[in-house]
Amino acid sequence: MTTKIWTAQSALFLTDPAGWSPAGVPAAGDRAVQSQGVSLGNSPFPATLHFGGSASNPPTLNIDGGSQPLSLVFGDNPATDGTITGHVNINYGGLANIVMTAAGNVAGSLTENISYRGTSGGTLTMQGSRLGSLAFTVSGSPGNGARYTHTGNTTVGQHDTVTLNATTIGTGAWNVGFLGTLTALQPLSQSVTDSGGWVNLLDAPDFTGTLHMQANSGEVQLGPLFADQAVLQGGVLTLSNAGTTLAAIKVTGTNYNVWETSTGVQLGGRNFVPAGSPSSHTLLLHV
């Protein structure tokens, strides 16, 4: 294994041999360290890319079309690395199969920015550590037509977070584990399994996937929806207020309650009680 440092020089792309020290494009199995802005273009990059830098000066990787497997490691020296932030800009319909790994107690954060009316996506694997954390964000402003096509099954583990701020489609699925967090700010059409984490479906009326409740400690925020009635029939949870249907969501599982709270409708395990005084929440349904 050879460690190669991206020095840029006059190079524009990661696949330019002149941009690396020692010279030459890193091969599979090499350790490639990037702490500056650079473009991947539309060529594959075989090595694991170690993101350096900091939250105030993050490395940026631009992908301009094509399908790229990206293996990204955040941090190599747990004693000094701290928080490392990286940005991957997806332009012209680029796709990226991303593997994120947190080394030691490092906090790694990756934002995938999708261009106007662009389409991004691929698989996402988050390999956090017991003391570290990973955060993945898809950023496509509402109304810009950005779409994130998620494939494969992604587990959001302990202390890890995923934020989807783009219409999310595809054949993929999400499993939110203990102390993991998934937040969807725009329409989501994939299945979500709550295995003891926090799920925030903040565009609940446009959620067309299936919500699987699998742990007594799980918590789901649907909102901000304010309902006075919840009915579960045929696997569909219908929420309404004053006789007007607010959302109809496919839900599986048992041993959970549906609450109306000061922040909207929440689903939680049998042992879950919403925050605040008892007068601030009402039990709508016991499943």
Chain centroid to CA 62: 19
Instruction: Please indicate whether residue 16 or residue 235 has the higher confidence score (pLDDT).
Output: 235
At 265-274, the pLDDT tens digits run: 999 988 788 8
Q: Are strands 60-64 and 38-41 parallel, antiparallel or unpaired?
A: parallel
Per DSSP, the three-state class of 249 is strand
At 208-247, the pLDDT tens digits run: 999 999 877 789 999 889 999 999 999 999 999 999 999 9
- Based on C-alpha coordinates, what's the Rg of the chain? 21
User: What confidence category does residue 88 fall into, taking pLDDT thresholds of 50, 70 and 90?
Assistant: confident
Answer yes or no: is pLDDT of 285 > 90: yes
Answer yes or no: is pLDDT of 78 > 80: no
User: What confidence category does residue 14 fall into, taking pLDDT thresholds of 50, 70 and 90?
Assistant: confident
- The model's pTM is 0.89
Round to whole Å and give the CA distance between 283 and 259: 5
Give the mean pLDDT of 22-41.
82
